[in-house]
C-alpha cells in the first residue's frame, strides 16, 4: 500500500517521529514516505495517511489542522491515523495526576475526529532543545508554571513509535484494501508509481 505520512514540526522532533513511522512502515512492506503538510501536494495515489503535529499551547500546528480541513473529503475516504508530539519529561502524569498523553491531546482533536474519522490518535512524548527555541518560546519556558512541564531533553520513545507504526502496517484495512480502495481509482486517475 502507498502510505503518506505528513507532519507539522516547528523544531524537528515531530519530523523525526514522522520519518521513523514512514521508515518502519516501509520496512514492513508498504511504500511509505514522510513529508511536511506544507509540501504534501496532491494526495491522489495514496491508500492511507498518517498525519502528525507538534502540540504547542494545547494546539496542533495551524498548518496541520488546515491540511486536514482542506483535504477532509480525501482523508475521510481513506484509512487515516493521527499522532501528536507533545509532553516532555520522564513522568507519565502531571502534578494533578493526569495522564500526560491525555492532557496533551490537542484541542482540535474532536473536530478532526468528527471530520475524518481517523482509525486512531496517539500522543507521543516529544523533545525540547532550548537552543532551537525562539525568543517568545524561551520567555514562556521561564514562567513558573511552564518550567516544570517543559524540561530540556529528548523524551521520544522510539520503541513505542515503531510499535505503533508496525501496528498500522499490519492493520487489516491496509492489507486487504487492494487496488479497488485506492485513492487514484476513487479519483479516477492513473498512478504511474504502481
Ligand atoms: C513554548 C512551548 C509550548 C509548548 N506547549 C505544549 C503543549 O501545550 N502541550 C504539549 O504536550 N507540549 C507542549 N510543548 C512541547 C512540544 O510540543 C514538544 O517539545 C514537541 O516535541 C516539539 O515538536 P517539534 O520539535 O516538532 O516542534 C511546548 C513546547 C514549547 C517550547
Mean pLDDT score, 15-22? 98
Of ligand 1's listed atoms, the one at least distance from the Cα of 57 is 8
Tell me the backbone φ, ψ of residue 80, rounded to 5 degrees.
-135, 140
Mean pLDDT score, 42-62? 97
- HEC profile of 12-36: CHHHHHHHHHHHHHHHCCCEEEEEE
Give the angle subtended at the CA of 158 by the CAs of 4 and 91, to the nearest 5°.
125
pLDDT in tens, 101-122: 999 999 999 999 999 999 999 9
Mean pLDDT score, 142-160? 93
More confident of the two residues 23 and 174 = 23
The grid coordinates listed for 103 are 492532557
Q: Kind of pairing, strands 127-128 and 153-154?
A: antiparallel
Mean pLDDT score, 43-53? 97
How far, in Å, is the centroid of ligand 1 from the Cα of 55? Answer: 5
Say what the pLDDT of residue 153 is. Answer: 96
Of ligand 1's listed atoms, the one at least distance from the Cα of 14 is 26
Please report, to the nearest 10 degrees, the dihedral formed by the alpha carbons of residues 7, 76, 59, 10 taken in order: 10
Its pTM stands at: 0.91
Amino acid at each position: 500500500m502507498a502510505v503518506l505520512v505528513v507532519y507539522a514540526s516547528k523544531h524537528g522532533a515531530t519530523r523525526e517521529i514522522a520519518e521513523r513511522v514512514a521508515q518502519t512502515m516501509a520496512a514492513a512492506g508498504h511504500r511509505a514516505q514522510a513529508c511536511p503538510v506544507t509540501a504534501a501536494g496532491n494526495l491522489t495515489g495514496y491508500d492511507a495517511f498518517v498525519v502528525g503535529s507538534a502540540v504547542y499551547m494545547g494546539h496542533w500546528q495551524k498548518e496541520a489542522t488546515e491540511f486536514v480541513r482542506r483535504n477532509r473529503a480525501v482523508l475521510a475516504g481513506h484509512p487515516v491515523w493521527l499522532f501528536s508530539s507533545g509532553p516532555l519529561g520522564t513522568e507519565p502524569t502531571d502534578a494533578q495526576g493526569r495522564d500526560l498523553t491525555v492532557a496533551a491531546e490537542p484541542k482540535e482533536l474532536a473536530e478532526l475526529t468528527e471530520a475524518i474519522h481517523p482509525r486512531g490518535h496517539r500522543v507521543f512524548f516529544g523533545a525540547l532543545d532550548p537552543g532551537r527555541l525562539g525568543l517568545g518560546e524561551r520567555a514562556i519556558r521561564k514562567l513558573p508554571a511552564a518550567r516544570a512541564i517543559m524540561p530540556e531533553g529528548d523524551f521520544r520513545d522510539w520503541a513505542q513509535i515503531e510499535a505503533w507504526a508496525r501496528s498500522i502496517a499490519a492493520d487489516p484495512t491496509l492489507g486487504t484494501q487492494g487496488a479497488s480502495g485506492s485513492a487514484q481509482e476513487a479519483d479516477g486517475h492513473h498512478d504511474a508509481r504502481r
